[in-house]
Amino acid sequence: MISISDLITKSWEFYRKNFKVIIPIIVLVFLGTSAEMLLRYFLKLPGYFSLLGILISIPFYAITIWLTVLTIEITARTLVDEKTNLKNLALIALKKLPMSILLGIIVGVIIIFGLILLIIPGIIFAIWFHFTLYTFILEGKKCLEALKESKILVQGRWWLVFWRLVVVNLFWGVVTTALVYGVTALITLPWGKVESGTMLFSIINVVLSLVSNLITALAGPLLIASSLLLYFNLRESRSLVVPVEKR
């Protein structure tokens, strides 16, 4: 199985070599997350756990899932040296959106149920079904078939997959957090202590939120590339054909 170091280095190599290809995705993710943030901030909308907050979040959640599907489509094809067409893949991702949302809800409910039981079952389920969306998007397997296929990929190698997912995601998470804090320090340092409630305080907060959104958007393709590399490796080690659908 592919090593943790290889997952990190190969995902970075992919990112560096194909940055021009994934720039549109980064921009779209940044615009989507920032639009919701600015909308909530300037209109003083209620929190996520109020009824209105939930209703407002629904379209942005759908956009996030669509962008995730699109990122997976583009990244998967680029990894296997297949040409990509952003417009065509965006339409494909849109068609796959309803099932992707359904699978996200199903996996989320399963994991939450497992966490409520004894926490450990939730962790087990999270690893088993981590590749559910990938099997749907890249293989066309739907609902229970996608869940089953994801579990089959992990069976017998749960701990190996667990450590790879945890360490790689933790690594990129630490890098992203360090960048956010570093840039935040550079922005806030010249202003010193700013009194809350002032216009300057509000402007700095908005700028910092936008910077955080941008860095998070930049990191997204790295995380997906790492998971896809592991997914392809698991498929290959099962002596199965890498299933990127030709169109």
- Measured between alpha carbons, how far is 208 from 202 in angstroms, rounded to an integer? 10
Tell me the residue range of the domain where 97 lies.
4-237
- What's CA 237's distance to the chain center, in Å? 25
DSSP 8-state assignment for residue 245? P
- With respect to residue 143, please indicate whether it lies within any of the assigned structural domains: yes
| Residue 247 resides in a domain | no
**Euclidean distance between CA atoms 127 and 43, whole angstroms:** 39
The CA distance from 224 to 235, in Å, is 16
Q: Which tens digit of pLDDT belongs to each residue from 192-239?
A: 777 777 777 788 888 898 999 999 999 999 999 999 999 999 988 875
Sign of CA dihedral 99, 105, 244, 85: positive
Residue 11 lies in a domain: yes
DSSP state of 247: -
* Type of residue numbered 133: L
- Asked if residue 51 is part of any domain, the answer here is yes
Backbone angles phi, psi at 218, to 5 degrees: -65, -35
User: Could you give the number of structural domains in the chain?
Assistant: 1
Give the pLDDT confidence of 50-71 residue by residue, as tens digits: 666 677 778 888 998 999 999 9
The residue with greater pLDDT, 163 or 115, is 163
Q: Is residue 242 part of a domain?
A: no
For 146-200, what is each residue's pLDDT tens digit? 999 999 999 889 999 999 999 999 999 999 999 999 998 888 877 777 777 777 7
Instruction: Tell me, yes or no, whether 49 lies in a domain.
Output: yes
Is 244 a member of any domain?
no
